[in-house]
Every structure is written in C-alpha cells, then in structure tokens.
Structure 1
Amino acid sequence: MTTRVAAIDCGTNSIRLLIADLPDPSAGPTAPLTDITRRLEIVRLGQGVDQTGRLAPEAIERTRVALAGYAAEIQKQGVDRVRMCATSASRDASNAADFRAMVERTLGVAPEVVTGDEEARLSFTGAVRGLPADAEPPYLVVDIGGGSTEFVLGTREDGVEAAISVDIGCVRMTERHLHGDPPTPAEVAAAEADIAAAVDRALTVVPGRRAGTLVGLAGSVTTVVAIAQGLHEYAPERIHHARVSYETVAGVTADLLGRTRAERLEIPVMHPGRADVIGAGALVLRVIMERAGMSALVASEHDILDGIAWSLAPSPS
C-alpha cells in the first residue's frame, strides 16, 4: 500500500509543498515516489534577518498566507502524514517563537527547525535517489538556499560521509553586498571574496574536491540551468539531471550580474520573486565549482523537499 504524505520546506526565500505517494516498503530502495502536487511561493521569510536578527512581521504574514493555501490543499488531498521543516531564517531569528505559533495555528503541526546535519541528510537523500547510472560517486551535493548553503559528500550505499552548512545564501549575499542595480564590480568582488572564504572553510570539513559528481539543488541552480538551456518556459523535466559545464555557469553568472533587475525579469524562466537575488545565487554556484575544481554540474529538481517526504515513509513491517 502507498502512503500519501505532505512535505513542506520553509526556507529563507521560498516555501514549498510536495504532496506525494510513497511506495510500499516492500518495493525496495529504488522505487520512486509519485508526485501529486508541487507548489512554490516566494515569501522572503528571511527579509532583513541578517541585519536585524528578527523575522519581519510582514514576512511572517506572507508566509502565513502561503501556508494557509497549502493547508487547504493538504486537507483536500487526504494526506496521511505531514512534516514541515524550517531552515536558516527561523534558526537565526530572535522572534522565532512568533513564527512557530503562526505555523501551529495555520497548519496544525509544529515546524521542525532542523539542525544543519539533519538538513544535509534530508537534502542528500532527496537528491541522490534516482541519479543517472553514469553519475560517478562519491557525490558532492550543494544546496544553495536563501540564507545558507549546505555541502554534503556521500554515496547511495553508505549515505552521508561529511556535511556542513555555511551562511552564504542568495538573499544573505545580496543584502550584504549587491546593492547596485546592476551591482558594481566592487560589490561583486566583495561578494565573491566572502563566498570564496566560506566555500574554502566548507571544503576543509567536506572533502568535496575528491567527489566524482557535483549535484546542485534549489532555485538558484535550477534557474541557472534553465537559462543555460535557453528554455522559453520553466520545464522541470528538462532541468532534472541536466549536465552543465563550468564555462556555461560562469557565462550565465556574468550575464546575470551585468543586468538590472528589470532586465533579469525579461528572462523567460525567471521567477519574479527570484530576480533580485539570482545574481548572488549564480555567483555562489560558480565559486563552488571553481574552488572544488568541478568542470561540470548535474542539476536536480529533487532536494530536501523530497528528503522530507521520504522521511515520512512507514518502517518495513
């Protein structure tokens, strides 16, 4: 029998919902989940957190509105189990209790503020299930979020070998450094130096330079890949497991950082809520590839959201 689950991932920039049917445990470890619905809303929960240390009331309200819509969909679809994980912004905020109370009122379950280690494990599980057979292990999985980026090294067979979360996300780097429209060369250089220092620290903990395959997750990565492919509309099936070279990523990054926000909005695959932070997200990706010595990237549409869903699977009887 299948189990219908709802996974919610509330990050610094977006809140996402996956309702899926999990296979019967007897189907084995390679059996896929079946999507019922995937939804994303840009709510910018982490607005200003880097400067104030608090979640802005208007950001909490934007998140509440999105979450109320998700709660209605969960009820409509007859979900058996629900899990909501909240990441960087709600870890950092001094008024996290206000956020937690709002979630319990709106969704009926408490958000789990997962540790960096748990976040890494969930992201890795979601990303590596179903990787193409020619993806050489070990895998370095990088999840570029709004407030932080997770680095995870491991294999399908043995799981996570090493993981770390560092505070270089697309929202955080934009708010900290990229103030111009477009950002000035000096602003880009300052952001790049900040990112490079954090990536080098991460790679001392997670030996990613010996990885066989770099797997990139989350909206910054998938948007860069969609642009690289010249897509006229966002097509997850074209992006999932697409392979993109370092040279292509560097070219897309330079183009994005050279555009104004209005010009970035003209890109067909650009989500309006991502237009002001995509330059920083692309820069984080480019610097990771440089510092880890990776000539190519495999993009994955499956990430921590899928890992949350898999964590709700019933134990084999």
Structure 2
Amino acid sequence: MLDAQRVAAIDCGTNSIRLLVADVDIDGTKTDLAREMRIVRLGQGVDRTGFLAEEAIERTLAALREYAVIIADHGVEKIRFCATSATRDATNSAEFGQRVERVIGVRPEVISGLSESRFSYVGATWGLPPGSRAVLDIGGGSTELVLGDKPLGPDVGESYDIGSVRMTERFLHADPPTLAEIGTCLDACDRLIGRELEKYPPVTTLIGVAGTITTVAAHALELPRYDSEALHGARIPVAELASACLALASMSVAERRDLPFMHPGRADVIGGGALVLDSVLSHLPLQTDEVVISEHDILDGIALSFVLPLDQP
C-alpha cells in the first residue's frame, strides 16, 4: 500500500460512538488497525426534548478522550467525525460540536440521512462481487435502507426517523414490555415505514448491518458470545430472524443482559430495534428467504470516503 494514508473514522450515533483506524489506499484497499465501540446513548431523550442531555454529552466526550489516545498512538494523518440522527435532531448540536473539537481536534459533520445511507451501502458492499442488493442499517434514532448495484452508491435510498432508542422511549415502558406495548410499537413501525417499504422494487439480496441487526442475528444463531467472525457473512433465514426479533422484544432487560452475546448498553433498547427489523422483514418485497449479515457498515464507508468520491450527489 504505497499510496496509503492512515485515517480515523468516527461514527457518532444515537446509542453508540465507534472508531475505526485504518490504512486506506487510493484504490479503496483498506487495512483495519483498530476498531472500538462505546455505548454512550448520546440520543437519550432527544426524541422528546429535541436537546442533547448534558450527561449524554459527557459520556460521549469521555469516550472521545479514549479515542484521542488511540488515534495519537497510531499516528493518524486525517480524522473524519460523522454525527447522525441524534445530532441532526438536537437544537444544541453546534455547542456539542465545539466541545468535541476541543477533545478530538475536528468538529463533527452532521451528515444527512442520504449521506448516512450512502456510507452504509458502500461500507457494506465495497469489494463484493457485482450484483443488485439492499443494505439495511437500523440505528438508535434512524433506519437506512438502500438498494443498488453500483460500487459507489445506491440507486434508491431512504432514511427513516425510526430506531431502537427512539421506539423504545416512545412505546416500550414496562419491563418486560407488555403485549399491548409490543403491539402498539409494531403498529407504529408499520405505519411509519411499512407502506413506504412496500413501494420498493423486489429485493433479491438483503444485507443487514450495525449493532441492532447483528445482535438479533447473534440470538438467532444462539452464539455463546458476540463473535464478529461468526456473524460476518452469516446467512440467516428470514423466519428465524423474525422469530429472534419477537423473542428479544418480549424479554426483560435483565434477561437480555444475561444473554452471552448482549452488550449491556444495548440490552434496554434492543427490543425497539428488533421490532423495527420485524416490521421491515414483514413489508419489504423480498425475493429471498435469507438475510446476509455484515460487520462492515457506515464506519467503513466513512473511512473509504477519504479516497472515494462518496460525498458527491
């Protein structure tokens, strides 16, 4: 990799903040050096208040201080920090950006849902053989679904304001959630995205990315621990994934935390995300009976954006 540059990509979502340090060549060849994830719940209460809570900002800055050390230790040349749903929705995102810059040296880019979907698509599909596919990314505050067959971007893409934290805060208040709460949440998911998904062209390959989907997949596979290698490339029947969604949504938080693959910071909101996934699987016109799981996603797309023209419309 004679022309490689060492970069740091940061994905700041509603529930987690993640770091990828990688060497990226001008042709898009990428060598990962470090991957980190912290559950910081930056989007705590944002759906209700429209405001980033101070304690959530402090959790995020604490994670960034750890990331700053990793970035310095690896001699990173360039940093790109992309913030998504929670920061898009917050009225105090500018103040948050100033505080981030003092810690990490760059100000967050608050990217649009369209950019988020493009980065997720390229991150998940870059390097795969040509072919038509859809990429589904369920985050804490939003869900991106994109379809395409081009290496650098989707033909059809949309971002929906529906995600694990948002739906949990709105609908799933009991522990465990009541059947009525689960039904109301599913009805809301169907109303918010179901009719839109039914308008999509037929999907022959569906790739699921990011923590909500990989956690549901780990449950479907009954993994003894969270295993990225076992998950990446796994093909899970749609019926088994849908069954895992409803099982997770029906559990108490304590029961979810006891699952060996469950990140403790995801246990209280995975139910909302699982119900979003169940709704997508119910309404998307699938011409396949399986979902392909990928550990590559928006974070990889951000890293590739240093050398690929992903910011172009």
TM bracket, shorter-chain basis: over 0.9
Contact persistence 2:195–2:283 (CA under 8 A):
no
Shift of 1:202: 3.6
Of the three residues 2, 12, 22, the one matched with 1:10 is 12
2:208 pairs with 1:211: no
Shift of 1:284: 1.1
- Superposed counterparts of 1:159-170, under 5 Å: 159-170=153-164
Question: Once the two structures are superposed, what CA deviation does each residue of 1:38-64 show, in whole Å capped at 9, x if it has no partner?
Answer: 000000000000111100000000000
Shift of 1:157: 4.3
Aligned to 2:165: 171
Contact persistence 1:171–1:280 (CA under 8 A):
yes
Of the three residues 32, 41, 46, the one matched with 1:44 is 41
Of the three residues 186, 208, 221, the one matched with 1:229 is 221
Shift of 1:203: 2.4
Contact persistence 2:124–2:298 (CA under 8 A):
yes
Question: Once the two structures are superposed, what CA deviation does each residue of 1:164-193 show, in whole Å capped at 9, x if it has no partner?
Answer: 111110000000001111111111111101
2:298 pairs with 1:296: no
3-state SS of 2:68 partner: helix
3-state SS of 1:293 partner: coil
3-state SS of 1:85 partner: strand
- Superposed counterparts of 1:81-100, under 5 Å: 81-100=78-97
TM-score (norm 1): 0.92
Aligned equivalents of 2:300, 2:194: Cα separation in 1:
28
2:190 pairs with 1:196: yes
The aligned length equals 305
Contact persistence 2:135–2:206 (CA under 8 A):
yes
Higher mean displacement: 166-175 or 188-197: 188-197
Q: Unaligned 5+ residue runs, structure 2?
A: none
Question: Once the two structures are superposed, what CA deviation does each residue of 1:248-291 show, in whole Å capped at 9, x if it has no partner?
Answer: 11221222122111011110000000001111111111211110
Contact persistence 1:138–1:155 (CA under 8 A):
yes
Amino acid corresponding to residue 104 of structure 2 in structure 1: L
Contact persistence 2:12–2:18 (CA under 8 A):
yes
Contact persistence 1:142–1:151 (CA under 8 A):
yes
Contact persistence 2:80–2:302 (CA under 8 A):
yes
> Percent of pairs identical after alignment?
51
Amino acid corresponding to residue 191 of structure 2 in structure 1: A
Aligned to 1:121: 118
Q: Unaligned 5+ residue runs, structure 1?
A: none
Aligned equivalents of 1:99, 1:258: Cα separation in 2:
35
CA 1:69/1:158 → structure 2, altered by over 3 Å: closer, same or farther?
closer
CA 1:145/1:121 → structure 2, altered by over 3 Å: closer, same or farther?
same
CA 1:231/1:112 → structure 2, altered by over 3 Å: closer, same or farther?
same
Of the three residues 269, 283, 298, the one matched with 2:261 is 269
Aligned to 1:241: 233
Aligned equivalents of 2:308, 2:300: Cα separation in 1:
15
Compute the RMSD of aligned alpha carbons.
1.6
